[in-house]
């Protein structure tokens, strides 16, 4: 795999992290275990002048003269990574030489210098059923004509296929629909933790907080240090009492959690009002969206998990370039490199089929809708 990083990244032992948001909070532990983190830098003054896990958090204006002395990993959602890169270039820093995105670093550095396949974030959907019916759901769940549910056996088979070629996943997220609908969730986590706990940095559940985690799920979550990411839609949907109860159960158990309050979502257009991007602009559009998470379902690894759901809902038929079929790979370096290249958005035709008609979450999508508006 050809690296875009300059040769002087090879023997690095320390890094500066740019970004002190959710991505950093979820992933900093992995980086601490592998590198000396000199400091964390952010452009939001309200987040700075503090410490996180023993690491100083500084404002970018206070260290801009020092940044050139370090290699910088941008630890933000890809939508913001490009903007951060533009700001760093104003300081005279160069992409690939002085800084890179977290995903580029994980895929290129660990493969080229450690011969390890390291993935940033992988998502598996365990049910298409949901307690809400969001008109602009980014996984299109209200548009499924036939709902799907996955067993613990299904999910473990997918992970087994992936781990034939992958050494480590920094974050593995379980989602839906609403994942707590699936009665096998606790058993899934138990088996995932037992088999792959040493190869997954963080196991997480993304939930809307409409269902209360039961005692079994909480005990299993404590054993494997599962993190709960609550999406709070109570400003739109009337379930605040239930939501607060769900958060309290997790908090009282001493589990890690975050509460994400989204006031608006990017309007994908698809499947109601397709965007139709020009052919020669589709790759640029896809990279602008550039999901930091990739999908794992049905024995296939997807650059865009949203495209898996569009196909599963029978809204759009995927083509072979949209995924890596893990069931067909040989056990060799070519298979590993194919997964890494796909993670970086390098597929034969240059883009995912859905990108031609989906607005995505990139900076080029300036159309927004109210989050969680119900059908």
Q: pLDDT of 177-193, one tens digit each?
A: 999 999 999 999 999 99
Residue that finishes a domain, picked among 63, 81, 114:
114
Q: What is the pLDDT of residues 64-93, one digit of tens each?
A: 999 999 999 999 876 788 889 999 999 999
In this structure, what DSSP letter does residue 131 have? S
Predicted pLDDT at 22: 87
Residues 202 and 247 grouped into a single domain: yes
CATH number of domain containing 143: 3.20.20
Residues 99 and 128 grouped into a single domain: no
pLDDT, mean of residues 275-286: 93
Residues 22 and 80 grouped into a single domain: yes
**Is the residue at 245 inside a domain?**
yes
Predicted pLDDT at 113: 94
Q: What is the pLDDT of residues 191-222, one digit of tens each?
A: 999 999 999 999 999 999 999 999 999 999 99
Residue that finishes a domain, picked among 114, 143, 165:
114
> Is pLDDT of 240 > 80?
yes
Predicted pLDDT at 126: 98
Residues 287 and 307 grouped into a single domain: yes
Predicted pLDDT at 4: 87
> Is pLDDT of 328 > 80?
yes
What mean pLDDT value characterizes the chain? Answer: 95
Q: How many domains does the chain have?
A: 2
What whole-number distance in Å separates Cα of residue 315 and Cα of residue 76? Answer: 30
Predicted pLDDT at 77: 76
Residues 136 and 244 grouped into a single domain: yes
CATH number of domain containing 36: 3.40.50.720
Residues 130 and 277 grouped into a single domain: yes
Which structural domain range is residue 77 located in? Answer: 7-114
Q: What is the pLDDT of residues 117-147, one digit of tens each?
A: 999 999 999 999 999 999 999 999 999 999 9
Q: Contact, 119 vs 336, CB < 8 A?
A: no
**Is the residue at 1 inside a domain?**
no
Number of C-beta neighbours around residue 233 at 10 A: 23
> Is pLDDT of 261 > 80?
yes
**Is the residue at 2 inside a domain?**
no
Residues 144 and 227 grouped into a single domain: yes
HSE-CB at 73 with a 13 A cutoff on CA atoms is 28
Residues 181 and 280 grouped into a single domain: yes
Predicted pLDDT at 215: 98
**Is the residue at 329 inside a domain?**
yes
Number of C-beta neighbours around residue 330 at 10 A: 10
Give me the percent of the chain exceeding a pLDDT of 70: 100
Residues 147 and 102 grouped into a single domain: no
**Is the residue at 341 inside a domain?**
yes
Residues 153 and 34 grouped into a single domain: no
What whole-number distance in Å separates Cα of residue 178 and Cα of residue 182? Answer: 8
> Is pLDDT of 279 > 80?
yes
> How far are the Cα atoms of 21, 183, 185 from residue 255, in angstroms, in the given order?
19, 20, 17
| pLDDT category of residue 262 using cuts at 50, 70 and 90 | confident
Burial of 362 (0-12, 13-18, 19+ CB in 10 A): buried
- The model's pTM: 0.94
**Is the residue at 228 inside a domain?**
yes
- Residue 101: closest CA among 70, 123, 80: 80
Q: Contact, 119 vs 202, CB < 8 A?
A: no
Predicted pLDDT at 3: 76
**Is the residue at 375 inside a domain?**
no
C-alpha dihedral (271, 277, 283, 289), degrees to nearest 10: -50
Residues 150 and 285 grouped into a single domain: yes
pLDDT, mean of residues 297-311: 98
Residues 177 and 139 grouped into a single domain: yes
List the alpha helices (DSSP H) in the chain: 22-34, 60-63, 78-90, 102-104, 110-114, 152-163, 185-196, 215-223, 240-252, 282-289, 305-312, 333-343
Give helix then strand counts, H and E, for the chain: 12, 16
pLDDT, mean of residues 36-49: 95
**Is the residue at 254 inside a domain?**
yes
| pLDDT category of residue 263 using cuts at 50, 70 and 90 | confident
Predicted pLDDT at 295: 98
What whole-number distance in Å separates Cα of residue 309 and Cα of residue 322? Answer: 12
Residue that finishes a domain, picked among 83, 114, 145:
114
């Amino acid at each position: 795999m050809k690296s875009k990083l300059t040769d002087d990244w090879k023997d690095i032992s320390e890094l500066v992290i740019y970004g002190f948001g959710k991505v950093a909070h979820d992933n900093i532990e992995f980086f601490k275990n592998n590198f000396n983190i000199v400091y964390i830098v952010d452009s939001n003054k309200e987040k700075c002048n503090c410490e996180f896990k023993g690491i100083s958090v500084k404002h970018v204006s206070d260290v801009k003269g020092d940044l050139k002395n370090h290699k910088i990993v941008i630890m933000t959602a890809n939508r913001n990574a490009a903007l951060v890169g533009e700001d760093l270039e104003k300081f005279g820093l160069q992409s690939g030489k002085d800084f890179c995105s977290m995903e580029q670093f994980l895929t290129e550095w660990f493969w080229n210098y450690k011969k390890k396949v390291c993935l940033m974030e992988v998502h598996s959907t365990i049910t298409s059923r949901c307690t809400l019916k969001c008109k602009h759901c980014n996984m299109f769940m209200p548009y499924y004509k036939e709902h799907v549910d996955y067993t613990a056996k299904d999910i473990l088979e997918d992970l087994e296929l992936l781990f034939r070629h992958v050494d480590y996943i920094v974050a593995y997220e379980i989602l839906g629909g609403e994942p707590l609908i699936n009665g096998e969730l606790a058993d899934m986590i138990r088996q995932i933790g037992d088999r792959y706990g040493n190869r997954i940095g963080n196991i997480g559940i993304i939930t809307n907080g409409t269902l209360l985690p039961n005692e079994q799920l909480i005990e299993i979550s404590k054993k494997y240090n599962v993190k709960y990411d609550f999406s709070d839609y109570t400003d739109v949907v009337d379930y605040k009492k239930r939501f607060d109860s769900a958060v309290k159960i997790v908090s009282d158990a001493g589990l890690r959690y975050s509460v994400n309050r989204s006031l608006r979502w990017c309007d994908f257009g698809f499947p109601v009002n397709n965007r139709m991007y020009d052919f020669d602009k589709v790759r640029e559009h896809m990279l602008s969206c550039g999901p930091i998470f990739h999908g794992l379902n049905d024995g296939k690894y997807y650059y865009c998990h949203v495209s898996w759901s569009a196909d599963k809902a029978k809204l759009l038929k995927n083509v072979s370039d949209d995924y890596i079929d893990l069931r067909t790979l040989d056990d060799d370096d070519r298979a590993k490199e194919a997964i890494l290249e796909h993670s970086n958005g390098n597929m034969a035709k240059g883009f995912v089929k859905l990108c031609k008609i989906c607005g995505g979450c990139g900076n080029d999508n300036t159309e927004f809708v109210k989050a969680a508006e119900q059908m």
